[in-house]
Chains A and B, each alone.
Chain A
Amino acid sequence: MSFLLLFLDELKGYAKSKVMIVLWFGLPLLSFLIHFIQPETEDFPISFLVVLLVASIGGTLSAIMLSTSIVNEKNRHVYELFLIRPVKRYNLLLAKFFAVFLCLIIAILISLIGGLLIDIITIGFPENYLNSIFDSLIISMSSMAITCSIGIFIGVLVSSVAVAAILAVYLGGQLSSVIILPTFFIPGLDPEMLALILGISISTILMGINILLFNRMQF
């Protein structure tokens, strides 16, 4: 019960603070611009590019959003008012995780639909379209689950917004690509399956650590 309330509250916060608008309009716009500015991508279906681009920016963004908002809220003593109520501490973190995750997935879907429409108009419906879109969606979602949990980890540990943002840029984007690395070295691995397994297991472990750390904190 309190998870759902907290989750909706986080989403409301992102809507009110205009984070959603920036993500949902900004991300697709950015990827379309890149497509039309860079000539070498012209023959390449825009929808593929969009998913890759948005997912890699999205990973860094999710780490920054989570880490800075947690540091900011810690410093403003926002959590005190939550924790004096029958709210489990892990629900606070889980609500944040899923709210950011959902916001970014929606941003990717919007970009994708936009990209698809442009593709259909310019080069027609691409071959194997649905398959490859589905594959790249799985990979980007898995990597974003990891960056979200890294963002929370930084937020829980660090006490300066600037340090949190810097660490999120360093770690967020880079570490998320770890999940597809093994496929380069070990032939025959199914990249999507691997990404899914690694994504779920790494983010679960990280979130477990985050919850333990958060439970031990004093407010």
Chain B
Amino acid sequence: MISMALNRKKEINIAPQKTDLSNGDTLIEFRNVSKKYKSLLALDNISFKIQKGEVFGYIGPNGAGKTTTIKILVGLIRDYLGEVYVDGKNITINRDDFHHLIGYHPQEAGFQEWRTVDHAFRTFGRLSGLSKLQVEHRTNEILNILNLLDARYKKIVHLSSGMFQKLRLGQALLHEPEILVLDEPLSGLDPSSRFQFKNIIKKLAKSGITILFSSHILSDVQDIADRIGIINYGQIMKIGTPEDLQSSFNIGNIIQIEVAENTAFCKGLEDLKNVEYIEKVRSNIQLIHLKSDIDVDLVINLILNKFIEQKCKIRNFNLVKPSLEDVYLKYVGGGTF
């Protein structure tokens, strides 16, 4: 867990800094939306906004209500309580206006078995309102981006699951939507396909398209998302930038100390004020767990003094903050999978 936490920290640090979106326009707004399936309350009065150009990571365990939220937005579920606005307009009023704005990558949707990739693009492109010429142009463009040109005339049922997933994304992009809704786009992909797929999404995000991206795996969204919403039991538990989420989560800080190989650790650190306990993770790496709600800088000074007194050969000294994974587990309880 701790070493995982350390890795996460590195990942967060190298994530590209996104532009400030605090002044952006709201593009999508859920206002007090609830949805009940017979006795199951799938969404319990959720409200949130997504800004124009933002990548919104929507995470939560399976069955938390992610797909229900998404299906309401794309118009597949029509009877719900509350209001949903896209670009300031209620989506129930003139639904066809919104179909043009939104591209949807469904979690499970399939294609009829007789379809080839080319047929699928032609049919869906035309149904989205493109002309024959536009469909031809977009098909080439998208297949090129997705690296699927070789599969153009293959039957969809013969594609690998990675290619199939790309095809689902491709059909969502045909009509150049302003909003891309991705429901678990990375599920069932092998590591290299995940990597490729994430890169494609990152490129799309850079082009200014607004993305709602759901996943039950936090690491899928944390380096792509500008903001993350955590949903569980049909309720939004927390929304914020990855950094906000981390800092809102007040667990005791941890200091990681690495000394030179084959030298001893400093002694007497456990007796320092505000140190909870010390954990040895490798022969030359130890973690000092601090009590929560204390002045960290003061403790650091005390520790540094010990180093100087004992002439310890320090190689690395690092304050570890809670990982996003910790935040996620706190809100979803860790046991609902």
Q: Which residues of A contact B (CB under 8 A)?
A: 2, 5-6, 9, 12-13, 16-17, 73, 76-78, 80-87, 218-219
With both beta carbons as reference points, the residue of chain A lying nearest to B128 in the complex is identified as A85
Taking A77-B110, A78-B111, A86-B129 as given, write out 13 further A-B residue pairs in contact, using a Cβ cutoff of 8 Å, ordered by the A residue number: A5-B123, A5-B127, A12-B119, A13-B115, A16-B119, A76-B109, A77-B108, A80-B76, A82-B124, A83-B76, A85-B124, A85-B128, A86-B100
Which residues of B from 109 to 125 have beta carbons under 8 Å from A? 109-115, 119, 123-124
B99:A85 contact, CB within 8 angstroms: yes
For this complex, into which size category does the number of interface residues on chain B fall?
Answer: 20 to 34
Q: Are A84 and B112 in contact (CB under 8 A)?
A: no
The answer to whether residues A86 and B127 also contact, given A78-B112, A219-B76 and a CB cut-off of 8 A, is yes
Given A2-B127, A12-B119, A86-B129, CB of A81 within 8 Å of CB of B114: no
The answer to whether B109 and A77 touch across the interface, beta carbons within 8 angstroms, is yes
Residue of B76, B108, B111 with highest tally of chain A CB at under 10 A: B76
Q: Which residues in window 2-54 of B have CB below 8 A to A?
A: none
Q: Which residues of B contact A76 (CB under 8 A)?
A: 109-112
Q: A2-B127, A12-B119, A86-B128 are known contacts. Are A80 and B109 too (CB-CB below 8 A)?
A: yes
What are 14 A-B contacts with C-beta separation under 8 Å?
A16-B114, A76-B111, A76-B112, A77-B106, A78-B109, A80-B104, A81-B124, A83-B75, A84-B99, A84-B104, A84-B106, A86-B127, A86-B128, A218-B76
Establish whether residues B106 and A81, one from each chain, have CB atoms under 8 Å apart when the complex forms. yes
Q: Tell yes or no: B96 within 8 A of A by CB.
A: yes
Report the bound CA distance from A6 to B106 in whole Å.
Answer: 21
A76 to B112, CA, bound (A): 8
Report if B313 contacts A (CB, 8 A).
Answer: no
Q: Specify the chain B residue showing the minimal Cβ separation from A5.
A: B126
User: With A83-B75, A218-B77 as given contacts, are A73 and B127 in contact (CB-CB < 8 Å)?
Assistant: no
Determine the residue in chain A with the shortest Cβ distance to B168. A81
Distance in Å: Cβ of A12 to nearest Cβ of chain B: 7
Q: For residue A218, which residue of chain B has the nearest CB?
A: B77
**A73 and B112 in contact (CB under 8 A), knowing A9-B123, A81-B171?**
yes
Determine if B127 and A85 form an interchain contact, defined as CB atoms under 8 angstroms apart. yes
The chain B residues found within 8 Å of chain A, CB to CB, are: 71, 74-78, 96, 99-100, 102, 104, 106, 108-115, 119, 123-124, 126-129, 171
Minimum CB–CB distance for B226 against chain A, Å: 24
Contact of A81 among B71, B75, B111 (CB under 8 A): B111
Closest 7 interchain pairs by CB?
A76-B110, A16-B114, A80-B109, A86-B96, A17-B114, A77-B109, A85-B127
Residues of B within 8 A of A80 (CB): 76, 104, 106, 108-109
B110 and A84 within 8 A (CB): no
- Which residues of chain B are within 8 angstroms of A6 by Cβ–Cβ distance? 127
Residues of A within 8 A of B100 (CB): 86
Please state if B114 and A82 are interface contacts (CB–CB under 8 Å): no
Across-interface contacts of B123 in A (CB, < 8 A): 5, 9
Which residues of chain A are near B115, meaning CB under 8 Å?
A: 13, 16
On chain A, the residues within 8 Å of B113 by CB distance are: 17
Q: Which residues of B contact A5 (CB under 8 A)?
A: 123, 126-127
Query: Complex formed: what's the CA distance from A87 to B109 in Å?
Result: 16
Contacts of B127 in A (CB 8 A): 2, 5-6, 82, 85-87
- Min distance, Cβ A102 to any Cβ of chain B, angstroms: 18
CA distance A24 to B329 in the complex (A): 61
Contacts of B76 in A (CB 8 A): 80, 83-84, 218-219
Q: How far is the CA of A85 from the CA of B102 in the complex (A)?
A: 9
Contacts of B119 in A (CB 8 A): 12, 16
- Chain A positions within 8 Å of B96 at CB level: 86
Residues of A within 8 A of B104 (CB): 80, 84
Measured in the bound complex, the distance between the Cα atoms of B98 and A127 in whole Å is 61
Determine the chain B residues whose CB is within 8 A of the CB of A86 once the complex forms: 96, 99-100, 127-129
**Alpha-carbon distance A80/B113, docked complex (angstroms):** 15
A16 / chain B contacts, CB cutoff of 8 Å: 114-115, 119
The answer to whether A13 touches B112, judged by C-beta atoms less than 8 angstroms apart, is yes
Whole-angstrom CA separation of A174 from B71 in the bound complex: 40
Residue in A closest to B110 when the chains form the complex, CB atoms: A76
Closest CB of chain B to A66's CB: distance in Å? 14
Contact A13 B114 (CB under 8 A): yes
A5 to B129, CA, bound (A): 11
The residue on B at minimum CB distance from A14 is: B114
CA distance A160 to B78 in the complex (A): 25
- Nearest B residue to A76, CB-CB: B110
- Chain A positions within 8 Å of B99 at CB level: 84-86
Q: Which residues of A contact B74 (CB under 8 A)?
A: 84
Complex: chain B residue closest to A17, CB-CB: B114
Residue of B nearest to A69 (CB): B112
